Structure 1
């Protein structure tokens, strides 16, 4: 069995059965999904149609082919050789098989394709069988039946895995689940190929339209960004945190099914991501950085902080002072991600402003660190660490000038959309910034956090306090995009980290060091 190196989808599986009320053709919903999913699969993709197809339908298919950079081929059952030659001329004759996806067939029409080494995948008519009955190993290896078009990516994974295994190579299949925009960011960088990576990984998107349990049976691991599927997080106390996160129905189903498939590794276990949802928990964890400061002239730490459940409590000002918090402060919701207002923040300059502060409670009041408008974003990807230098909020004196224009009212902002930036300090040299940071110390902190959190991929932000040189970790986040890292370095490292997690090396190491 050879790996699938190219897929040609016939118009019959892509077009909606009926035109709309104005006689305009459209794609079937599953077809639109599939065309988007296959765009960055690292497999040749084409669309075929017969010479008798109406001009509006041909235009629709050609427009979608241009949109996704796919090829179009004319398919005549009476001229199979011409079709095979056209595909081979466009895509070459490298090792592997081509697949034609059709909805109906005659054996005499497809026998020539099969004799040319092609695979035929037939989309069954609705109602013929359920998805869970699909088993590629039980049918003619050159003719496969699927019940839904959404099954095609997993079918390709199965065939490519079997093809590599037949050559004596180990291949593991990873299902992934995250919001569409994040998925596309990773996919267009080449992170999710349907062809095996150099270290033997194949990626396929999980689909809630198919039985989750059936999909997990064919996977070796699941990579998820569960925070994208959070509906609510209850932060009234710090115990039983697992029971306070409400996920979408699909994510809940995935969690239930994973419990029935222990052989399928989860990257990362849901319990491991809970600390990064809770800014209070992360602050408490960062307190352990004190043990890393003995061998360096610099000091790395978390910021001073205080949890607040009521901005109008009478002793708030004293509690702030006891927590070593002086104005200005930055105020953040305790919920760190997963809900709409998790990134609604404020910089407060006057203690009286707390009474009417519109930040979700409970909240974390955090030390505002003067850091010359420079932030260092660190990314931990498996055992490797990368960083990037970004512009950040200005020092307190600049902020105060800005706040005075607004009568010292709090500066409200969404940290995902906009930050107050020091416009007078935009041209500061990154080389100078780079020399300021103690890379060895931050690397020690990154490795320490990796062991404590036991996360495969995470990020954290470091600022350097002007007055003391302290390296202050002000934020920790799960599965960042690490888009500042060049793709040729980032993506192989991403694959390496996932492979290590699947083989258990990283988890065993973490368990030994904790």
Structure 2
């Protein structure tokens, strides 16, 4: 009987990420893939594919969390349920039910990755505290593997009464505490000076009397010359993609609002950036010479070691993190971690993830035989 891989993904994950085309990749192994129907779960981001196909001897099914029961058995389950997990943690009844069904389904099945490990990344403060602990644990002779920017989690009233003083300096970025579950989680603002904070909050959350998030995540902005390194991890495989980021921020800039899901993914060809606005811009027109100079500042050995350490300490197999190199100092900062990211731009991703799946199934099979 063929081993079975079960995926618990949303339609968005299948169509707008490196996972897209996974079914086509499956055809290379065995012919005659089987297709079922497309069902809608009633959730805004949970179009779940109810279909199956073959991958080089593996049966692959995609789980519909709204089904009352799941008949398919699985040798391994891979999921991207951060939105649902976050809503469940906040008490959403539908999400709680979906998570309970999923936990029941995977109770005796290997999972990539374990839900407790993924839950630790749902809130930004929780993630940063984890990173602080990892920094301390990996420090050797006062040498730090990586840094994180100072941050604070405060209510709107605390922010307006300047409770951030001695915690966070400006320029700073302000965003919602949650890192998933809603479109609002991806809305954020660069605030060049403390005098602009009230305006930025009003633009993000509405006037003080309007309903809004009780807590906000405020973090110092680290200038990094408009270049960000997206590091993708698939088991032991590490791949870095260079992408444009925001230009260096000064106190003379205006407040800049942006959606973190709509940041440009590529640079224009050899054209310097010119803007008459006082708003910062994404460095999409950074010259190739400037890009190459910044790329040389990245310590690739350090980036790979960070990936190894994070995988071990966070107990994750499929994840990505954003790495920047500070202007002037060359210090490496981890500014975000994402579970099971898009993997856009990762070469041979399908083959790499299938290799990880095979290793996991074989490892758990050997463990089961020893019991």
CA 1:375–1:361 in structure 2 vs 1: closer, same or farther (change >3 Å)? Answer: farther
Higher Cα Rg, which structure? 1
Q: Which moved more, 1:446-455 or 1:261-270?
A: 261-270
Partner of 1:384: 237
Partner of 2:282: 421
Quick check: 1:459–1:476 contact (8 Å CA) kept in 2? yes
Partner of 2:276: none
Secondary structure of the corresponding residue to residue 55 of structure 2: coil
Quick check: 1:371–1:464 contact (8 Å CA) kept in 2? yes
> How far off its partner does 1:395 sit?
0.3
Structure with higher helix content: 1
> How far off its partner does 1:245 sit?
6.7
> How far off its partner does 1:282 sit?
0.9
> How far off its partner does 1:435 sit?
1.7
TM-score (norm 1): 0.55
Answer yes or no: is 1:470 the counterpart of 2:335: no
Alignment of 1:75-474 (within 5 A): 162=1, 171-184=2-15, 185=17, 186-189=19-22, 190=24, 194-197=53-56, 201-208=58-65, 211-215=68-72, 218-229=73-84, 232=87, 248=95, 251-258=98-105, 262-287=107-132, 288-294=134-140, 299-313=145-159, 315-316=161-162, 319-323=163-167, 325-356=168-199, 357=201, 358-359=204-205, 360-397=213-250, 400-403=251-254, 410-418=255-263, 420-422=281-283, 425-474=286-335
CA 1:246–1:303 in structure 2 vs 1: closer, same or farther (change >3 Å)? Answer: farther
Counterpart Cα distance in 2 of 1:396 and 1:293: 30
Count of residue pairs the alignment pairs up: 311
Quick check: 1:374–1:389 contact (8 Å CA) kept in 2? yes
CA 1:491–1:378 in structure 2 vs 1: closer, same or farther (change >3 Å)? Answer: same
CA 1:457–1:231 in structure 2 vs 1: closer, same or farther (change >3 Å)? Answer: closer
Q: Which runs of 4+ in 1 moved over 4 A?
A: 189-193, 208-211, 242-247, 295-299, 311-315
- Higher RCO, 1 or 2 (CA under 8 Å, sep at least 6)? 2
What whole-Å deviation, never above 9, does each CA across 1:320-350 have from its counterpart, x for those lacking one? Answer: 3422x22110112110112221111011123
Partner of 2:48: none
> How far off its partner does 1:391 sit?
0.6
Secondary structure of the corresponding residue to residue 125 of structure 2: helix
Counterpart Cα distance in 1 of 2:164 and 2:239: 35
The Cα RMSD (Å) is 2.9
Partner of 1:54: none
CA 1:326–1:228 in structure 2 vs 1: closer, same or farther (change >3 Å)? Answer: closer
CA 1:424–1:504 in structure 2 vs 1: closer, same or farther (change >3 Å)? Answer: same
Quick check: 2:230–2:240 contact (8 Å CA) kept in 1? yes
